[in-house]
Amino acid sequence: MIIEGNVSVKAALMGGNRRVEKLYVDEAKHDKDTSWILHRAEERKAEIIRCSREEIDAKASGRTHGGLIAEAEKRQYQKLEDTWKQEQTFIVLLEGVEDPFNLGYIMRTLYSAGCTGLILRDRNWENAESTILKSSAGASEYLPIVLSDDMQQTVKWYRDQKVNCFAAMRRNAISCYEAKYTGPVLIAIGGEMRGLSSGVLKEIPQNIYIPYANDFHSALNAAGAAAVLGFEVYRQRNV
């Protein structure tokens, strides 16, 4: 796949989840950030090709690459065990979010909040990877991601590891500010259209909701909920 722009190329190089094979850099591009990226590429034995901006434009899908693109292999995904960080474990299980822009925004937020693993349904994300990488500002390359073909069993695996599991669901819920996230925690968040699946909800013992200032009955979108809940986890762990 083609990765475009300094931020995305740097993340692909440093994230360690894919091999970057070639970099194409505008022969007139000599800024400090690009030089740093090229040094890291050399360390990883990636081929560096200096060429004209027109040649890069021909390979890129857009015009926001800033004179740097890369050819890279598919992303490698993690196993459940890779997300286990003892007391610092913070997992988000996400269902019903397939728009690559929204998914990228969520990944950027969760990585910033200290998430140690994101669980997504097992599907081919390859065609969306470039958009996810850009909209996440590179966070998708650093955030451990697990693809699950059985979300209910995935939740059960974490419960067996003594992870406290919560579902973002208003029915029979407590305020998200009453829940305790100082130990290992998993939070399940659903998309606006379908929400969380019945299997996931069956496996999670406690629902949580986000209190509103006004009498408003529509749920936040997944990106908004991820921001509120993710940074509440961060706050509780850093007070």
Using one digit for the tens of pLDDT, what is the confidence trace for 149-188? 999 999 999 999 999 999 999 999 999 999 999 999 999 9
CA-to-CA distance for 206 and 174, rounded, in angstroms? Answer: 8
CA distances from 33 to 6, 29, 174 (A): 8, 10, 46
pLDDT per position as a tens digit, 73-132: 999 999 999 998 888 999 999 999 989 999 999 999 999 999 999 999 998 888 889 899
**Structural domains of the chain sorted by starting position, each given as residue range(s) with its CATH number in brackets:** 2-72 (3.30.1330.30), 80-237 (3.40.1280.10)
The mean pLDDT value for 211-236 works out to 92
The mean pLDDT value for 11-27 works out to 95
Predicted pLDDT of residue 183: 95
pLDDT per position as a tens digit, 34-87: 999 999 999 999 999 999 999 998 988 877 888 999 999 999 999 999 998 888
Predicted pLDDT of residue 139: 96
